[in-house]
Amino acid sequence: MSEPLRLMAVHAHPDDESSKGAASSAYYVDKGYEVLVVSCTGGERGDILNPRLKDDPEILRDLTEFRRREMARAVEILGVQHTWLGFVDSGLPEGDPLPPLPEGCFALEPLETASEPLVRLMREFRPHVVTTYDENGGYPHPDHIKCHEVSVEAYHAAGDAERYPHAGQPWQPSKLYYNQTLSRGRILAFHEAMQAEGLESPYEEWISRWEERGERPINTRVPCGEFFEVRDQALLAHATQVDPDGSWFSVPLEMQRRIWPTEDFELAHSHVPVHLPEDDLFAGIEGG
């Protein structure tokens, strides 16, 4: 038997794996592929975004440990493997002017220092496909931007024996993708469908602000609508980070599957021939 195909999804914080590409991860697990989620940080500086839990004494006593337990539950729901890269959350700086980032945080780590553990992990797990964020981080959180930089560095270095020579035997992933599920087209389609059916849309403000974000090229759409419910269950497992009454869950699942039954990606680099658009992250890879 040939070895299984492997996907590595690199994320900044626990919960990112459930809000970005989670249905695709569950889809590939269901196909028998190996999926490894990498969390660069522990989310130590995250806020409690669920109003029901803001005053929970157990959470306030040790948010870091609580988020680790949330992550373990999400991993169980998605059926993926998981590892922590071990860096410290940078937090999201707010104010004008912005305050400096805290000393020792992920975003301030030198590129090679932050990349070597991921190079080592790529050489151990030997992924055929790597997913992460674009150069804007999806949105400009310093850890998301650093996650992009580290993922791109590791993707290109993992197959080069002269780079990071003490980080294991070289392995070159075949393809690198950026998560682009939160696109203007998708949000606008949901907004218009909800209005047409007399439902209140939460996306009015999103759409009005979209010009600030711009639009990225989407060239790969993974048909994973049957796993949207699994995605939502994994996201809800991160109870401190998600308001169950918030916009993440406002669009009925039936509507999502009917209007936009895919998770979308931007192909950033490939070592194998590609024919765009694609409907499979493993297109062009032997066994895919």
pLDDT per residue as tens digits for the range 87-130: 999 999 888 888 999 999 999 999 999 999 999 999 999 999 99
pLDDT tens digit string along 261-284?
999 999 999 999 999 999 999 999
Residue at 281 is within a domain: no
- Taking only the tens place, the pLDDT of each residue in 168-224 is 999 999 999 999 998 889 999 999 999 999 999 988 888 877 766 667 899 999 999
pLDDT at position 212 is 61
**Mean pLDDT in the chain?**
94
What is the reported pLDDT for 211? 64
- Cβ neighbors of 262 (< 8 A, separation 6 or more) are 221, 222, 223, 224, 225, 279
> Pseudo-torsion of CA 39, 40, 45, 51, nearest 10°?
-20
Residue 214's pLDDT is 67
Task: Average the pLDDT over 56-60 and give the result.
Answer: 90
Q: Is residue 249 part of a domain?
A: yes
Instruction: Look up the domain containing 14 and give its range.
Output: 6-183+217-270
Asked if the structure places residue 88 within a domain, the reply is: yes
Which CATH number characterizes residue 143's domain?
3.40.50.10320
**Residue 208 covered by a domain:** no
Q: Do the annotations mark residue 47 as ligand-binding? A: no
- Whether 277 is in a domain gets the answer no
Residues 6 or more apart whose CB falls under 8 angstroms from that of 130 comprise 7, 8, 9, 10, 122, 151, 154, 155, 173, 175, 176, 177
Q: Is 148 annotated as a binding residue?
A: no
Residue 70 lies in a domain: yes
Identify the weakest region by mean pLDDT among 33-37, 235-239, 246-250, 276-280: 246-250
For residue 95, the model assigns a pLDDT of 82
User: What's the domain count of the chain?
Assistant: 1
In a domain, 111, yes or no: yes
Report whether 16 belongs to an annotated binding site.
yes
200 in a domain, yes or no? no
